[in-house]
Amino acid sequence: MFIPAGIGLRYYPESLRDLVQIVAGADQAAGVAIRPCGSHWALSDAVAEPGFPGAIVETHGLNRTLYDVIPSCLRTAVRADLVGQSPATDGQWDEGAYNLYHVEAGTRIYELYSRLDRQDPAWPFPTDSLDIPALGGSWAPPTLGGAGGQTIVGAATTSTHGGDLNHPPIADMIQAVHLVGAGGRQFWVERARFSARVPAPMSDAGKLAQVLGPLEIIQDDDALNACLVSVGRLGIIYSVVLKVVRQYGRRQTRHRREWDEVQRELLDPNSPLFSKRFLQVVVNPLPRFKDRRHSCWVSQAVAIPARDPLPASWRGRAQRAGAGAGVNPSIDHKPGDLYTVICRSHADFAEPFAVCLGLLRDLAPAARLVPFVGIRANREIDEIIVELVNLSRADPMSVGDFVANVCNFLVDEGHAWLLPAIMEAFLEFGQGDIPDERPAEDISYAMLDGWDYSDRDCITNADSIEVAFDAGTDLGVRFINESLIPRTNQLVDGKLTGKPMAFGGYASMRFTGRTEALIGIQKWDRTCVIEVAGLRELSGIGPLLDQLESDAKTMGATVHWGQRNQMTRADVDAMYSGIERWRGVLARLSSGGDPQTFSSAYTRAAGLEPP
C-alpha cells in the first residue's frame, strides 16, 4: 500500500543496530507505536490506517544476504544432513534436496530468486564456505505467488499463497526468524525440530550467542509458527533463514473452458485437474450475452529439470534475474498477456479495444431488440461505439483505467447489459490458450512471477480480496456460484447498492498445501484460495468486494491479511483455533517492553493483541 495521509515520521534502518535503536526509542516514548512496512504492496490497513499516530519503519534498506549464522551455527546433526545430500543429476530434478539461505527481511522476492539462481555475483550462498558439490548450482523458492515485488517477509507474514497444490505457502520457507521486539529486545526464533530426519533444533544455541551477542533464543514450534504470519504485530523481523530447493523449470498450458463443466471437475478429488503440480482457474463472473454461460480459463503446470545450459527459448533468466531483476515487463510467453497489457498506456491498447468493439458491433442487431434502461433510452449501439472511441482518445491512461472508464460509462448510460461483452473480450485477449502441443516453458520464477515491473501503476490500479476455503469441500465452488456471480449481477442491476454500478474483473482460484502458521489462511491439507480482483476506478468495486468478504466469512472462509479486508476479533477467533497460542507468543515477546509498541487500530480491531 502507499502509506496513507496523516503519518508523519518514517524510519529507514540500514542495519540491525539502526533497527534496535529505533524500536528501543519508540518503546521509551510512551504511547508512540511503530509499524514495519516492506514494499508497499498490501491493500489492507495491516501496515497503518489513515491518520496512524505512530511511525513507519521502512525495511527495504535491509536487503543483504547474511553469512554469520549459516553454516557456522548449525547443529552437528543438521550440518551432517545438509552436506550428506546427493549431488544433482543432470536431466533430473530432486525436489527433496534443500539448502539454507539467510537474508535480511527487506529483501524483495525478485532479489531473492535472482540470488538463489546465482545471477547476482555480489551475493554467494552462505553454504558455499562448506565447499560441498551437492550444495553448488542454482536454487529456487519451492513456491511463489504471481508477483515478486513484495519483500519476502512482507509476503510471508500476511499469508500470501503460492499456487502449487501440495506445497505449503511462502511463509513455510522460513526456518528461523531474528526478531526485534518491544523494548528493542532481540529474539532468535526457530522450531524445536528441524525436520523429520533431524528431530532437533536447527541451530546450536551456544554458537548463536557467540555470534549474535545478547539475545533470547527460542526453539519452540508455537513461537516460530506465530512469527510466520504475524502481520507486523509481534515486532520487526530483521532476518530470516529460508529452506530452498534446487532450481527447476515449469511447463504450463492454458485452455478456455466452460465454468459449468469445470466446477463439476473441481468437486472430484480424482479429477485430471488435480494431476499436475499447479492449477489455476480464472472465472468471468459476468455471463456471456449469447447464452448466459460463464467462461473460465484453466492453467496447469508441471515441474521439469532446469538443464545447464538452459534452452535458448527460456528467456526468463535474462529478463527476470541479474540486471533485469525488478525492472523488466512481464515475460512475453503469450503476446498481450493480461498482466502485461493492463498497465500499458492507451497507445498500446488498440488490439484489445478492437476486439471489444468488434463484439459490440456483432451485438448490434440483437441490441436493437433489447429495451434499453436508463436516461437515454433510445441511444443506438453505433452511437455508443462512437462515444467509446472518443473515450479511448482521451488523456493518456493505462489499459486498466480505460476499461474501467468504459464500464462506468456503459452503466451510467443505462447499458450495463453490454458489460459482459467488454469483459469477455478483455479476459479472452489476456488469457488465451497455451495448447498442450506448444506449452510455455521457462525457469521457475519466470513462469510464476508474471508482474510488469516497468510500470508502477500495476501496483495501484486494482483492488482485490482473497478468501480461502477447505478444498476438500464444495465451498470454493459454492462461493463462486452463490456469492460472486449473483452479487455481481445484483451490483450491475442496482439491487446491491440501490443504483446500478460497474464491475469488471475476474475470480482466480488457486490451490495450495497446509501452512504451519498459527493464523495462516491455508489451514487445510489442501486449500482453495480465491482472489476476486477488479479495476480500482470501477464505481462498484468497493461495495462488491465488501459484500463478497462478508459472504465468504459466513461460509467459513479465512481472509488474506494483506489484501482488502475488514477483520474483527470475532472473525479471527472463529477462523483460527490457534489464535490464543498466537496471543500467548505475543505476550511472551512483549514482556519487558511496552506491549502496545507494535499495535494499531487494525490489530486492535482484529484482536491481534495480548490475551
Distance CA 418, CA 388 (A): 12
Distance CA 380, CA 362 (A): 13
Mean pLDDT of the region 101-110: 97
Angle at 54 between CA 50 and CA 56, to 5 degrees: 85
At 418-441, the pLDDT tens digits run 888 778 877 877 777 899 999 999
What pLDDT was estimated at residue 368?
Answer: 44
The pLDDT-based confidence of 513 (bands split at 50, 70, 90) is very high
CATH code that applies to domain 76-246: 3.30.465.10
The pLDDT-based confidence of 457 (bands split at 50, 70, 90) is low
Please report, for residues 142, 143, 144, 161, 526, the alpha-carbon distance to residue 444 in angstroms, rounded to integers and kept in the order given. Answer: 9, 9, 9, 16, 22
Q: Is the pLDDT of residue 3 over 90?
A: no
What pLDDT was estimated at residue 88?
Answer: 81
More confident residue, 536 or 349: 536
Mean pLDDT of the region 47-61: 86
The pLDDT-based confidence of 395 (bands split at 50, 70, 90) is low
Ranges 22-31, 435-444, 469-478, 536-545: which has the least confidence: 22-31
* Strand order across the beta sheet in which 55-58 lies: 9-11, 55-58, 34-37
Which residues, 6+ apart, have CB-to-CB distance to 387 below 8 Å?
409
More confident residue, 396 or 608: 608
- Asked if 25 and 19 count as a contact pair (C-beta separation under 8 A), the reply is no
What pLDDT was estimated at residue 137?
Answer: 93
Running DSSP on this structure, what letter comes out for residue 151? B
The pLDDT-based confidence of 506 (bands split at 50, 70, 90) is very high
Query: What are the phi and psi torsion angles at 309 (to 5°)?
Result: -80, 160
What pLDDT was estimated at residue 359?
Answer: 55
What 3-state class would DSSP assign to 252?
strand
Q: Is the pLDDT of residue 370 over 70?
A: no
What pLDDT was estimated at residue 418?
Answer: 80
What pLDDT was estimated at residue 145?
Answer: 85
Task: Calculate what percentage of the chain has a pLDDT beyond 70.
Answer: 85
More confident residue, 56 or 355: 56
- For residue 538, give the H/E element and its range: none
What pLDDT was estimated at residue 375?
Answer: 35
Q: Is the dihedral of CA 102, 603, 458, 313 positive or negative?
A: positive
- Asked if 187 and 240 count as a contact pair (C-beta separation under 8 A), the reply is no
Mean pLDDT of the region 544-565: 96
Which residues, 6+ apart, have CB-to-CB distance to 194 below 8 Å?
75, 78, 81, 175, 200, 201, 202
More confident residue, 373 or 398: 398
DSSP 43-112: -SSSS--TT-SSEEEE-TT---B--SSTTTTB-HHHHHHHHTSPPPPTT---TT--EEEEEETT-BHHHH
The pLDDT-based confidence of 124 (bands split at 50, 70, 90) is very high
Ranges 366-375, 494-503, 512-521, 564-573: which has the least confidence: 366-375
Q: Is the pLDDT of residue 342 over 60?
A: no
Mean pLDDT of the region 124-150: 93
Sequence ranges of the chain with CATH classification 3.30.465.10: 76-246
What pLDDT was estimated at residue 437?
Answer: 96
H-state helical runs in 494-578 = 541-554, 569-575
Sequence ranges of the chain with CATH classification 3.30.43: 9-61+581-606
What pLDDT was estimated at residue 416?
Answer: 85
What pLDDT was estimated at residue 7?
Answer: 63
Residue-averaged pLDDT of the chain = 87
Mean pLDDT of the region 380-403: 63
- In 3D space, the residue among 379, 381, 387 whose CA is nearest the CA of residue 363 turns out to be 381
SS3 per-residue string spanning 270-285 = CCHHHCCCEEEEEECC
Any idea which architecture 461-566 has in CATH? 2-Layer Sandwich (3.30)
The domain made up of 9-61+581-606 has a fold known as 3.30.43
Distance CA 136, CA 128 (A): 7
Mean pLDDT of the region 345-353: 51
Q: Is the pLDDT of residue 348 over 80?
A: no
Here the cell at position 370 is 433489447
Distance CA 188, CA 239 (A): 10
Bridge partners for 217 per DSSP: 188
More confident residue, 149 or 221: 221
DSSP 552-565: HHHTT-EE-SSSS-
The pLDDT-based confidence of 149 (bands split at 50, 70, 90) is confident
Residue 6: left (phi > 0), alpha (psi -120 to 50), or beta? left
DSSP 191-215: -S---SS--S-SB-HHHHHHHH-S-
More confident residue, 520 or 351: 520
Distance CA 483, CA 479 (A): 5
State the distance between the two ends of the chain, measured CA to CA, in whole angstroms.
29
More confident residue, 473 or 534: 473
Sequence ranges of the chain with CATH classification 3.30.70.2520: 461-566
Mean pLDDT of the region 353-373: 51
Q: Is the pLDDT of residue 341 over 60?
A: no
- Stated pTM of the model: 0.91
What pLDDT was estimated at residue 209?
Answer: 94
At 222-269, the pLDDT tens digits run 999 999 999 999 999 999 999 999 999 999 999 999 999 999 999 999
